[in-house]
Structure 1
Amino acid sequence: MTPKAVVFDIGRVLIEYDPERFYDRVIGPERRAALFGAVDLHGINLRVDRGEPLHDTVAEAVRAHPEFGQEIAMWADRWIEMASPEIPHSVRLLEALKAQGVPVLALTNFGAETFEMARRHYPFLDLFDQRYVSADLKEIKPDPGIYAALEQGSGFTAKDLLFTDDKPENIEAARQRGWRVHLFEHPQGWADCLVGHGILTKENAA
């Protein structure tokens, strides 16, 4: 049976997300390595994804590590540069699904403030019929609650859904619920998956 709705992760699926690359460019690899060795920036980001305020959480880290204060502050002040650029083929697939009338949902680990930054920078994020954002739900992938929230909110059952995400643990959590899944590694693989499920033709998945 053809899936009735398609669910997208956002980071590293529709937009690139590479904080280390950003810091390497701005402060150099050696300083970046020292920063990430001393400060759990990814842990800070996870707290924000769980719903903590971005600027307050970053400011707390600045106070705890004043020797890296300027660099830590960039996590809030220059965040959009870490989440750039868009992945053009993935965006085309989202647009093609929307044009074909296929319901498209977002299921993403994202902070409330950073998601608004992303929406302003990437208008295609408003194409989704529904968005399930971890900071709003206070649930984060791969916790079961965030998947249940999408099922309950959208009205789709597990067998109706086809989901792509770049993290195996997030994919496995969805698979265990009965969702059809695709581990995102590159846009062409996702395009081939959508064609294989009969959702898009080769022409409109190009």
Structure 2
Amino acid sequence: MIEFVYFDLGNVLWKFDEDVACANTAKVFGVAPALIRDAVYGSGLQNRFEHGGVTPRGFVDELTRSLASTRKAVSEQVVLDSLSNMFVPIEEMVMAIDAVRQKGTKVGILSNTCHSHWDWIARQEHALMSSRFDAVVLSHEVNSMKPDDQIYRAAELACHTPVDRILFLDDKEENVLAAKRRGWRAECCVGGGSAVQMLIKHNVINESWSAGGSSS
């Protein structure tokens, strides 16, 4: 019996597109999107940000220094928001999470993400985030990223649930396999119909459930 469901944030609850982030930030700095991609993702800066190894201010300072071709002055918040404004909520997951909770199962978020992405999503005040999550485990807060073992241990402590009664939905196979090695139930899928099918498979929601509502 599943007592707790952890959802990944990116591509399970919110779709995202790094090309959009690079295009947004390129406009802010007045440079080509390829330069932003190299400076943010290619350099490992984003990875360190998601690990919690660099502060938002430090992130912007490093990015600005790496773009030696521009002298344009930009604010910290504008830069962080331009990179974060690439997320689109997966609307079907609003009712899916409600259906999980209606069955008496607790829900949480387990995500590799940075401070600014989480802050931007929270400020959207979308229905997907308005429901109370019983546990939220974010890589930048625990200084560990999936599939590293440490972040799963943190998630286990946060949800107070036996490992074999945790279900985890993530869009990356390596993250799913790491959860299974710890004894979790875990499935590789994306948000929407694929995620719903996994919730049905593990009897977390009723088979007759649909995006239009849930069956009692």
1:79 aligns with 2:83: yes
Q: Distance in 1 between matches of 2:149 and 2:110?
A: 12
Hey, what does 1:49 align to over in structure 2? 50
Q: Distance in 1 between matches of 2:203 and 2:7?
A: 17
**1:11-160 to 2 correspondences below 5 Å:** 11-24=10-23, 31-36=32-37, 38-41=38-41, 43-51=44-52, 52-67=54-69, 75-83=79-87, 85-121=88-124, 122-126=126-130, 127-160=132-165
- What one-letter code is carried by the residue in structure 1 that aligns with 2:182? R
Query: Paired residues, what number?
Result: 202
Task: Single out whichever of 166-175 and 19-28 deviates more from structure 2.
Answer: 19-28
CA shift in 2, pair 1:77/1:34, >3 Å: same
Give the TM-score normalised by structure 1: 0.85
CA shift in 2, pair 1:113/1:67, >3 Å: same
Hey, what does 2:214 align to over in structure 1? none
Q: Distance in 2 between matches of 1:68 and 1:98?
A: 50
Name whichever structure is richer in helix by fraction.
1
Q: Distance in 2 between matches of 1:110 and 1:91?
A: 20
CA contact (8 A) 1:195 1:205 kept: no
Q: Distance in 2 between matches of 1:40 and 1:131?
A: 25
- 1:87 CA drift (Å): 0.6
Q: Distance in 2 between matches of 1:63 and 1:39?
A: 10
Gaps of 5+ in 2: 212-216
Q: Distance in 2 between matches of 1:99 and 1:66?
A: 53
Q: Distance in 1 between matches of 2:106 and 2:58?
A: 36
SS at match of 2:108: strand
Give the TM-score normalised by structure 2: 0.81
Q: Distance in 2 between matches of 1:153 and 1:186?
A: 23
CA shift in 2, pair 1:68/1:35, >3 Å: farther
Q: Distance in 2 between matches of 1:101 and 1:144?
A: 28
CA contact (8 A) 1:44 1:58 kept: no
SS at match of 2:150: helix
CA shift in 2, pair 1:75/1:93, >3 Å: farther
Q: Distance in 1 between matches of 2:45 and 2:71?
A: 14
CA contact (8 A) 2:109 2:137 kept: yes
Gaps of 5+ in 1: none
